[in-house]
A and B are shown apart, each in its own frame.
Chain A
């Protein structure tokens, strides 16, 4: 039904303001920004060397010298958590970046390309996502050996099919839209249609999904590192800190607690940001007239 009056439209410039206006999105943005700053500035803000041993000062409870205490080898936990953020975000962002790019391109090609290619790609996506994630990760790590590069590879392989399928579905619905027909009628080629007209219209939901996936990946990295299958021990991964803390849980519970806090916060932060972005970016919400 047409109420015929233009509602206040939300242009591209208004998007950031809309995100700031939503308390949940704002909270997410602040938390994520804090983690990113922490990761980037780790060398400057960490009070100690995260791998420097000081066996005499092991299991020091949080104090003025060590705000978050120390672990079983006397390493400063706050420094390890700050450096851990660098590791966790680095791995998560690198892997979703790669997975997102692969998913985007393959999804667009599957959705707009010839039918046989679509069938083939869908078969690949479905086969990959039918593998149980943990067992698949364990198998790959057993073959290639644990390490950061293996971890990223595993994450990319398990997450890109979902991205590709999302993009493919979006592309299929848009492929019959009037503006795509209009572009074809003007003689636009497949490359121009895919990258200039389809891509900007499908990327929004992908950004939301990726944002919501980052905490899952941080958790996965922590989990695999906890099992000694991820980042190799001396590196200050949150998972490693937890694993090491777990062995001395009764003796020094503060280790597990302080290593758990950033995991919880990062999860909340990215989830809130994702929810906020959904409200702002969702093609059915923002920037469309509701007539």
Chain B
């Protein structure tokens, strides 16, 4: 079965804005990523790892420097390609309130996709009511302006608008950012229900691992614009193959004072993309780095457990359980 979304060897350089030079910041390097029908994939990494750039590249908001983006089996190119993509895929932004045009009512905003793609919209008011009902909002919300909504309501309006044209893929950038714990749970339940009812596929971009555990079938970890680990969520959390993934898992604050971490799982910050380290790009922060790591860059290779990891010692770590040492 062809995947809904398939990125093949994608590079993205962000233009530096020079007049004559074409040079850019090498944000993404050789990214392969696919999302199957009805599948939920989480893209995980720190800020600066290129997650948001990747989402924008998929939607055509950011030009791809090299490689191909395939949607539903065909390579996306040209005006028509993007127009079709933007009809069948929708994006939810990190700041839900800011992603709603401030001078228009919610009722107009949620039905706007119909107007943009010239789809029949015989009764806009009714359609708005129905869409708002799908995400559990009362019809009265249709008359409000974005700044009159709470964070959770704005998030739901974003979901309603994303669903308007019954897309096959929803790209969600930090879908629970800025929400309270109880509202987070509501939004995650809603996303799970919609996925089941409408057969949606999700690409969820986040650094919140608790969220990933609940909504993703598969996890793709990005570091400095490269995929460093990929595999089924439960397996990756149980035994991370890449030391970076292991440190992300260990860094998550545990809501239990009896499980306080004694020491830091990961020190320092991500290097700049302009000064990518030689060898394995993670070696500057890796607690397990050896001479080989400083000299030779590892490839993204299958591990013995059938996942992909960009680490010379992936299998070794897993056998030795080194990462569990990190957590304690």
Contact = CB atoms under 8 A, between A and B. Distances in A.
Interface string A42-65: 000000000000000000000000
B116 A179 contact: no
A28 B115 CA distance: 41
Interface in A1-48: 6, 9, 11-12
Contact of A186 (B90, B95, B148): B90
B93 A181 contact: yes
Contacts of A11: 145, 148
B172 to A, nearest CB: 12
Nearest to A203: B103
B61 A184 contact: yes
B87 interface: yes
A181 B147 contact: no
B116 A187 contact: yes
A232 interface: no
Most B-side CB within 10 Å, residue of A181, A182, A184: A182
Nearest to A204: B103
A192 to B, nearest CB: 7
A6 B99 CA distance: 19
Nearest to A187: B86
Contact of B102 (A6, A179, A184): A179
Contacts of A185: 59, 61, 86, 90-91
Nearest to A192: B116
B101 A197 contact: yes
Contact of B147 (A186, A189, A201, A289): A289
B309 to A, nearest CB: 32
A181 B61 contact: yes
A183 B101 contact: yes
B103 A200 contact: yes
Nearest to A193: B101
Interface residues of B, number: 29
Contacts of A183: 101, 112
B95 to A, nearest CB: 6
Contacts of B93: 178, 181-182
Interface in B82-108: 82-83, 86-87, 90-91, 93-95, 98-104
Contacts of A288: 147
A90 interface: no
Contacts, number: 67
A233 interface: no
B98 A179 contact: yes
Most A-side CB within 10 Å, residue of B93, B102, B115: B102
A287 interface: yes
Contacts of A120: none
A188 interface: yes
B126 interface: no
Most A-side CB within 10 Å, residue of B94, B99, B115: B99
Nearest to B144: A11
A144 interface: no
B31 to A, nearest CB: 19
B67 interface: no
B113 interface: yes
Contacts of A287: 102, 145, 147
Nearest to A189: B116
B316 interface: no
Interface in B138-164: 145, 147-148, 150, 161
B117 interface: yes
A196 B108 CA distance: 11
A54 B280 CA distance: 99
Nearest to A9: B148
Interface string B64-91: 0000000000000000001100110011
Contact of A181 (B99, B103, B161): B99
B20 to A, nearest CB: 14
Contacts of A177: 98
A287 B95 CA distance: 18
A9 B99 contact: no
Given A184-B61, A186-B112, A188-B116, 13 more contacts: A9-B148, A12-B145, A181-B61, A181-B93, A182-B93, A185-B59, A187-B83, A187-B113, A187-B117, A200-B103, A287-B102, A287-B147, A289-B147
Considering the complex of A and B, which 7 residue pairs feature the smallest CB-CB distances, nearest first?
A: A187-B86, A178-B98, A200-B103, A182-B99, A178-B99, A185-B91, A185-B59
Interface of A: 6, 9, 11-12, 177-179, 181-189, 192, 196-197, 200-201, 287-289
15 contacts: A12-B145, A179-B101, A179-B102, A181-B61, A182-B93, A182-B101, A185-B86, A185-B91, A186-B86, A186-B112, A187-B82, A187-B87, A187-B113, A188-B112, A287-B145
